[in-house]
Amino acid sequence: MAVDVGRSLRSVSEKIRGAAARRPAALPDISPRLVAVGKTKPPALLIEAYRHGQRHFGENYVQELVEKASDSQVLSTCPDIKWHFIGHLQKNNVNKLMVAPNLFMIETIDSIKLADKVDLSWQKKKTSQKLKVMVQVNTSEEDSKYRVTVSDQACNLPGERERCVCVCPFFLRLPTGSQRFVSVCL
């Protein structure tokens, strides 16, 4: 292959480890997880990344994730692969996404209705595996088409999902009077 996947993964992983080593001692010692995003890349390339130790892969289109996750070569070569859905998920595509083998996390839950639909669809699978989700919470209360408001009580969602929350960006007023756009994930 033209791309040296192993070298690229090692380089990114070293940068991640270096950044983690520089974090303040007061922060929890949690290892960051690299999710390799395969946007339009062929299954052969992700299999190569898997052979070099990468286990978490993300896609932002339901059809592309389902096709790659269901690929016979991927299934036979990558038994421990974990799929992350990272794109905007529409309610009419939830059932399509749930058939993906090794679906590990949905990182873009942006409404209570979507969370409920995901929960119901996941329960139909009758699996002991818990689906991890990230809920996009609009902490700034700015008008937004896609985000759960703080008043929606996103952390009290029912079902078998692991509790993960992704807090959406907001403006932080600094003592100097300037503003800074920040994003926080819990």
**Tokens 């993906």 sit on residue:** 100
> How many Cα atoms are found within 13 Å in the side-chain-facing hemisphere of 130?
9
Give the total number of structural domains in the chain: 1
Domain for residue 23, yes or no?
A: no
42 pLDDT above the threshold of 60: yes
Cβ–Cβ under 8 Å, residues 55 and 34: no
Q: 11-18 long-range contacts, Cβ below 8 Å, gap at least 24?
A: none
In a domain, 21, yes or no: no
Indicate the pTM of the whole model. 0.80
Kindly state whether residue 22 falls inside one of the protein's structural domains: no
Supply angle C-alpha 75, 77, 83, rounded to 5. 50
What average pLDDT score do residues 14-42 get? 89
What's the pLDDT at 160?
Answer: 41
User: How sure is the predictor about 115, in pLDDT bands with cuts at 50, 70 and 90?
Assistant: confident
Report the pLDDT value the prediction gives residue 156, as an integer from 0 to 100. 53
Over range 117-132, report the average pLDDT.
Answer: 90
**DSSP class per residue in 74-131:** HHHH-TT-EEEE-SPPPGGGHHHHHTSTTEEEEEEE-SHHHHHHHHHHHHHT--SSPP
pLDDT for 16 equals 92
In a domain, 87, yes or no: yes
Residue 61 lies in a domain: yes
Query: pLDDT > 90: what percent of the chain?
Result: 50
With respect to residue 176, please indicate whether it lies within any of the assigned structural domains: yes
Give me the mean pLDDT over the 93-113 stretch.
93
Is 60 inside a domain boundary? yes
**Residue 140 — pLDDT band, cuts 50, 70, 90?**
low
CATH at residue 162? 3.20.20.10
Full residue range of the structural domain in which residue 138 is found = 5-16+29-185
Residue 43 confidence (pLDDT)? 96
24 in a domain, yes or no? Answer: no
